[in-house]
């Protein structure tokens, strides 16, 4: 038994040494900067930060560095809406017109269709036509005005089309039901509940708070434009760390936020899309999670149910395949 335990420790240490060398090489060759984390059964298996959170001023990344996580935020928003459904504040079959009475399309939409990206709500953020090319709503009133004037892209329920506007709308629904702003909702319903102190709705990046800038590479790392992400709300506005994303996913799958029935509903897939979450294959295993991109940030978090294993990757600069980085990380922990 003692010999077997020693062999396990040697194997784990070898895995960590291989991964450390890999991520150090990405950083030293200017291929990527960021942070990764893997948890299993409530304990961290591996954590690594590489590169810089800020180049000027020079601040090396560490396990506490905070990154914009983009659309990973949608999992959090889905959790909030499903909590509200359990509390009987809404039903997923409710029409959106309950919250947007002056928006004609809302009379045809259900909350569930919005959660599944089956709404047909116009994706104005990707519309570069004369009507929408300057659209960058920051206030709730500006969002509502754009939505009320937009025509649907398709009849609700007939297609699935991923669209940030859906989760901006859900954020406004949550604000209406809890009578407070989305930042306070996330704090009360999620981060305070499981002690996530570095996860919140972001605004302008502040390196003094441990927040990373994002960079692109052109004969060296160059500072990318950094938009204020508050207007994205629960569609893509959150900031977090890989460590806290892993803990969030563990809390989600261990039913810290709602019942098994709500989790099962969240994971019920249509065209590989659940309620704010996707299914991803890895070899013979499957994980549930979400990826995100905002500015030059790239991120992903996921959970393997059969292994009770969560992972998160947050990059603030990369010219390496994000998929290759994921594979290199997960093959050490999520393989057969």
For 290-311, the pLDDT digits (tens) are: 999 999 999 999 999 999 999 9
Residues 246, 215, single domain; the answer is yes
Evaluate whether residue 22 is within a structural domain. Answer: no
Evaluate whether residue 219 is within a structural domain. Answer: yes
Residues 68, 96, single domain; the answer is no
pLDDT of residue 240: 98
Number of domains present in the structure of the chain: 2
Residues 227, 274, single domain; the answer is yes
Residues 311, 217, single domain; the answer is yes
CA distance 148 to 101: 10
pLDDT of residue 134: 42
Residues 51, 200, single domain; the answer is yes
Residues 199, 169, single domain; the answer is no
pLDDT of residue 8: 38
Evaluate whether residue 188 is within a structural domain. Answer: yes
In tens, the pLDDT along 256-276 reads: 999 999 999 999 999 999 999
Residues 196, 297, single domain; the answer is yes
Are 55 and 228 a contacting pair, CB within 8 Å?
Answer: no
Evaluate whether residue 161 is within a structural domain. Answer: yes
Six-digit token string for 127: 């519309």
pLDDT of residue 127: 54
Residues 196, 309, single domain; the answer is yes
Residues 225, 266, single domain; the answer is yes
Where a domain ends, among 152, 178, 204?
A: 178
pLDDT of residue 12: 57
Ranges of the chain whose pLDDT falls below 50: 3-11, 128-135
Residues 40, 125, single domain; the answer is no
Q: What is the pTM of this model?
A: 0.93
CA distance 274 to 280: 12
Residue 87 belongs to domain spanning: 76-178
Which residue pairs from 104-107 have beta carbons closer than 8 angstroms and sit at least 24 positions apart in sequence?
105/150, 105/152, 105/156
pLDDT of residue 140: 79
Residue 274, CB half-sphere, CA atoms under 13 Å: how many? 22
Residues 200, 132, single domain; the answer is no
> Residue 11 in 3-state DSSP?
helix
pLDDT of residue 138: 60
Residues 168, 97, single domain; the answer is yes
């Amino acid at each position: 038994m003692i010999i077997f335990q020693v062999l396990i420790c040697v194997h784990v240490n070898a895995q960590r040494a291989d991964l450390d060398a890999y991520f150090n090489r990405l950083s030293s060759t200017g291929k990527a900067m960021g942070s990764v984390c893997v948890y299993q059964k409530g304990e961290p298996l591996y954590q690594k930060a590489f590169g810089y959170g800020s180049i000027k001023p020079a601040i090396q990344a560490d396990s506490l560095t905070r990154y914009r996580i983009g659309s990973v935020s949608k999992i959090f928003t889905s959790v909030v809406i499903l909590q509200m459904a359990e509390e009987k504040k809404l039903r997923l079959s409710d029409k959106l017109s309950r919250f947007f009475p002056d928006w004609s399309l809302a009379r045809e939409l259900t909350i569930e269709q919005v959660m599944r990206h089956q709404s047909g709500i116009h994706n104005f953020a990707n519309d570069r036509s004369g009507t929408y090319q300057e659209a960058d709503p920051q206030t709730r009133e500006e969002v509502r005005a754009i939505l009320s004037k937009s025509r649907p892209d398709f009849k609700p329920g007939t297609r699935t089309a991923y669209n940030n506007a859906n989760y901006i709308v859900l954020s406004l629904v949550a604000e209406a039901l809890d009578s407070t702003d989305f930042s306070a909702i996330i704090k009360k319903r999620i981060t305070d509940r499981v002690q996530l102190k570095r996860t919140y709705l972001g605004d302008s990046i502040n390196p003094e708070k441990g927040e990373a800038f994002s960079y692109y590479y052109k004969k060296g790392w160059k500072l990318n434009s950094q938009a204020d992400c508050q207007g994205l709300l629960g569609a893509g506005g959150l900031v977090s760390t890989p460590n806290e994303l892993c803990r969030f996913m563990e809390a989600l799958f261990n039913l810290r936020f709602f019942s098994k029935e709500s989790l099962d509903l969240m994971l019920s897939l249509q065209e590989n899309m659940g309620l704010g979450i996707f299914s991803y294959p890895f070899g013979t295993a499957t994980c549930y999670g979400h990826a995100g991109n905002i500015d030059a940030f790239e991120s992903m978090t996921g959970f393997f149910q059969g292994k009770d294993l969560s992972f998160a990757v947050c990059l603030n600069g990369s010219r390496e395949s994000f998929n290759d980085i994921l594979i290199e990380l997960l093959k050490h922990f999520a393989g057969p």
